[in-house]
Amino acid sequence: MALRNVREQGDAILGKISKEVKEVTPRTAELIEDMLDTMYEANGVGLAAAQVGVLKRIFVVDVTGEDPFVFINPRILETKGEQSGQEGCLSVPGKTGIVTRPNYVKVEAYDENMEHFVLEAEELLARAICHEYDHLDGHLYVEKVEGRLMDVEELQEEESEEA
């Protein structure tokens, strides 16, 4: 298991456009393994290669903690509906904000063996895919936050007051 350093907001690499992957070399396979390790270690639900400083069109997502998906050269084919909810990012630690995303996405990509697949996703998985996809084009969710970005701690205080 190898953890990679997660780049944080303000790091120029997070604003860059990632490049298509032509083949999964042993180095790429190692990158993907490390990305999964890094995501799980940080209790994240997704991580894009750019977040660990590699400008390749790769991201990993796992919204349940036991069902990881690897997306290489993904393309979003279709979106439907809307969902509004809290979002966070390992590159923007301690912060959260409300973002509206499609409630459904149909995406095609290649997996870690460069096998093509099409996935239809809803709700949290759809949100995570859209969030990670944005990283490939140099965008952070903070650009899409409605209202203001909040501290996670501040939000937890508000929630405990409500309860």
Catalytic annotation present for 157: no
Nearer to Zn ion, 118 or 152 (CB): 152
Spatial distance between the Cα atoms of 91 and 78, rounded to a whole number of angstroms: 27
| Closest residue to Zn ion in the complex (CB) | 89
**Minimum distance between the CB of residue 115 and Zn ion, rounded to whole angstroms?**
25
Nearer to Zn ion, 6 or 24 (CB): 6
Nearer to Zn ion, 118 or 121 (CB): 121
Spatial distance between the Cα atoms of 33 and 100, rounded to a whole number of angstroms: 30
**Minimum distance between the CB of residue 131 and Zn ion, rounded to whole angstroms?**
5
**Minimum distance between the CB of residue 1 and Zn ion, rounded to whole angstroms?**
21
**Minimum distance between the CB of residue 132 and Zn ion, rounded to whole angstroms?**
7
At CB < 8 A and 24+ separation, what contacts does 48-52 make? 48/18, 48/132, 48/135, 48/136, 49/18, 50/7, 50/13, 50/14, 50/16, 50/18, 50/135, 50/136, 50/138, 51/6, 51/7, 51/14, 51/90, 51/91, 51/135, 52/4, 52/5, 52/6, 52/7
| Candidates 115, 132, 153, 154; catalytic one | 132
Nearer to Zn ion, 89 or 125 (CB): 89
Instruction: Give the angle subtended at the CA of 121 by the CAs of 67 and 63, to the nearest 5°.
Output: 35
Residue ranges in contact with Zn ion by CB under 5 A: 89
Residues belonging to the active site: 132
